[in-house]
Structure 1
Amino acid sequence: MQIHVTCPSCHAKFKVSEKFAGQTGPCPKCKKPIQIPEANQEVVIHAPEDEGAKNAEGVSTLKPLEREEIEASPVGIVLIIAICLVTVAATFFLGRMSGAEPISPWLVGAGALLLGPPIAVAGYGILRDHELEPYRGGPLWLRATICGFVYAILWAVYAYLKGGLLDGEVEMFHLVFIGPALLAAGGVAALATLELDYTSGVIHYGIYLLITCCLRWIAGMPLY
């Protein structure tokens, strides 16, 4: 029989024969003296007793909880692709129809509002914590609508800063200050509405910005 020993100085673990029980000797690693415990002093860890329901043979009848996985259905994937294609096509034709005339700010704002909820839902599906129970159905769309509304408001805030304070001229120097502030606000919005962690919330808002900026480019509008 062997005795399990842990050196109190270097925490090295090793085994010695029971004939050395109770004796003092040097640690094989750090060479400091250690006391070999008696064989009856070893700690034995027993598995916890299963107190749940059991069948006639004494086997537990309880089953472990299984986390429900949400998989996108083929119909849902096709629908999302169709919405994306229709949105891109509508944006393209809108930009061509307006010609040299700028697109109405009200129309741009309406587009930002309409795009918010579906982008928020799609981003939530990618960035949510998969260890937690997800939002579904009505509660998810309600939270996504609020989140998308805040995202659209942030575009309105940017438009106000651009037109009211910067006279329509936005330089990269301005974006160094405005961009992080908007990303921080968007991250807080996703954190509060969809319960994403803050970093994922910032990425979530970044996805919305990326998509809306791409649509602005397709429509012939300035990216910022």
Structure 2
Amino acid sequence: MPIQVTCPKCLKRFQVSDKFAGKTGPCPACKNQIRVPELDEQVVIHAPDDGAPKTRSGESVLKPLKRSETDVTRKGLLITAGAILAAIGIAIGLRVTGGVSVVILAIGALAVAPPLVWAGYTFVRDSELAPYVGAELRNRVLIGSVLFSALWLLYAFVPAYVADFESPSDMSFMWFGIIFSAMLIIGALISVGTFELEFASGLAHVGLYLIATLLLALLSGAVLATGTPVP
């Protein structure tokens, strides 16, 4: 069996026959006299022992754990698509009947939040990190849904206190843009805290929800801004 030798002077590594064990000879690179170690002096590196039970051949009897993924499944996609289509149908129905109100808009914003929050998370999460699954994912989706829905409270109440608008729909497009930008930033921070996403991913996450609910509100006939000059 060959013996591994390292020259202490030039650090050249080479092998010699075990018949030279314990003998001294020149290094083939720098000619420095070095001693070949005995067979029992060699350092043998073994694979780390994980402590798991082994078979006679040394193989582990334990099977590796399978990592659960939260990639978009057909069932989840169908649920999300169904919820969105139902919301679109309700929005069109409200537009036709003229029955849109602030209460209905608030209920709608909360109702469509869970599928949008779940779908958004599956799209923007970091695939290199272990995803949230099961009850933990469900709880985070519910928390995120409530907080995302609450963002529309900024639209409903802040303009009245800041600019004395009698109704949120009286605000100008400029004011609406300012409020909507604030909603995006706060929503991104909520997403970062709830799902541990990067800020940019959090913006995309909350942006999906806000844009979807904005389009549904417009589809239902709601007037969110009038375009009047800033007071």
Is this a same-fold pair by TM over 0.5? yes
Deviation at 1:106, TM superposition (A): 1.5
Going from structure 1 to structure 2, the CA distance change for 1:171 and 1:87 (only over 3 Å counts) comes to closer
Tell me the equivalent position of 2:206.
205
Going from structure 1 to structure 2, the CA distance change for 1:163 and 1:173 (only over 3 Å counts) comes to closer
Going from structure 1 to structure 2, the CA distance change for 1:154 and 1:128 (only over 3 Å counts) comes to same
Tell me the equivalent position of 2:69.
69
Tell me the equivalent position of 2:89.
89
Is this contact kept in 2: 1:95–1:219, CA < 8 A? yes
Tell me the equivalent position of 1:78.
78
2:218, 2:35 → 1: CA distance?
Answer: 77
Please tell me the residue identity of whatever aligns with 2:102.
P
Structure 2 length normalisation: TM-score?
Answer: 0.66
Is this contact kept in 2: 1:162–1:170, CA < 8 A? no
Deviation at 1:105, TM superposition (A): 1.2
1:207, 1:126 → 2: CA distance?
Answer: 10
Q: Which has the larger radius of gyration?
A: 2
* 1:59-107 deviations in Å (ceiling 9; x for gaps): 3334433312345554443333222211111101201211xx8x31111
| Bigger Cα displacement from structure 2, 184-193 vs 205-214 | 184-193
Gaps of 5+ in 1: 5-13, 24-37
Gaps of 5+ in 2: 7-11, 15-26, 37-42, 226-231
Deviation at 1:209, TM superposition (A): 0.7
Deviation at 1:197, TM superposition (A): 3.4
1:22, 1:88 → 2: CA distance?
Answer: 85
Tell me the equivalent position of 1:48.
47
Deviation at 1:155, TM superposition (A): 0.8
Tell me the equivalent position of 2:162.
165
2:45, 2:196 → 1: CA distance?
Answer: 40
1:22, 1:210 → 2: CA distance?
Answer: 76
1:77, 1:68 → 2: CA distance?
Answer: 17
Going from structure 1 to structure 2, the CA distance change for 1:174 and 1:109 (only over 3 Å counts) comes to closer
Is this contact kept in 1: 2:88–2:216, CA < 8 A? yes
Higher RCO (C-alpha 8 Å, min separation 6)? 2
| Percent identity for Structure 1 against Structure 2 | 26
Matched, 1:20 2:29: yes
* 1:193-221 deviations in Å (ceiling 9; x for gaps): 33333332222111111101111221233
Give the paired residue count. Answer: 197
2:56, 2:46 → 1: CA distance?
Answer: 21
Tell me the equivalent position of 2:153.
156
RMSD: 3.7
